[in-house]
Structure 1
Amino acid sequence: MSTALHLAGPDDFAVLDRLVAAFHGEMNIAQDDATRAAALRPLLEGSPYGVAYLLGPARAPIGYVIVTFGWSVEFGGLDAIIDEIFIRPAIRGRGVGSDVLIALPKALADAGIRAFHLEVDRDDTTAQKLYLRAGFRARERFMLMSRRMV
């Protein structure tokens, strides 16, 4: 299987917003519509901090992936975080996730990304297996910690 990645732009807001709302509902992420829109619109308008890709057919996407960018001295420069990845439940288990995780480094190769990172639920063994097959590894000594600023 080969899943197409389509860089999302301003005209894709409505479809991306629906997909993100579905993912957030599934993951019990509480977020109001205005906050979600404020987070998505800059990515669709060319923000240097990240990109959003729609997955599958351009007219009827089956999911999305959002990648944000940062800098890591440890990894030698520009790094990327797969902030969110979502595939419609009816499509899961068909290799789409693997395709996306293989295609992303290729799509961003010219950007000089030195490392990709992602966060996974400690209890989601299915997702962990997918990420392990794609070459991601848990870090032995480190875990992601967060502090909300608002």
Structure 2
Amino acid sequence: MAALQKGDKIPHFKAKDTNGNDFDSATLLGKKPLVVYFYPKDNTPGCTAQACSFRDQYEDFTDLGAEVIGVSSDSVASHQKFAKQYQLPFILLSDANKKIRKLFGVPTGLLGLLPGRVTYVADKNGIIQLIFDSSMMPTKHIPKALEAIRKLVS
């Protein structure tokens, strides 16, 4: 499947969330702006820094009416531990079979060895307004996403 582009609609997807509950993107798509970020692995230095940066600015996103969703292939148990350890207030989805990653067309990073790190920002209609792809600058995703959300709601 080809990678999603700016202007494309975020596809419908389902996965297990941090609490092992079934998450359905239909509950949010078309209702509020979304930040969906794909990251390689829980508890690695870059991913932890990225998750904590989203955590520290989470209120800024929610104040603008947006929701943040983190996606990796880690298990629900791994996500629970990660979210608890770093007090992550946003949704983490377990994409163990990499279905969501494939649906979005997220490329692999670092010579194809690691899952890619890509952030998608969609307006309340589910239309992608920003795609930020940078494996080497995990904390840069947050200001980029926040800036895009601010433009959507202004």
Higher relative contact order (CA closer than 8 Å, sequence separation 6+) = 2
For the pair shown, the structure with the greater C-alpha radius of gyration is 1
- Give the TM-score normalised by the residue count of structure 2: 0.29
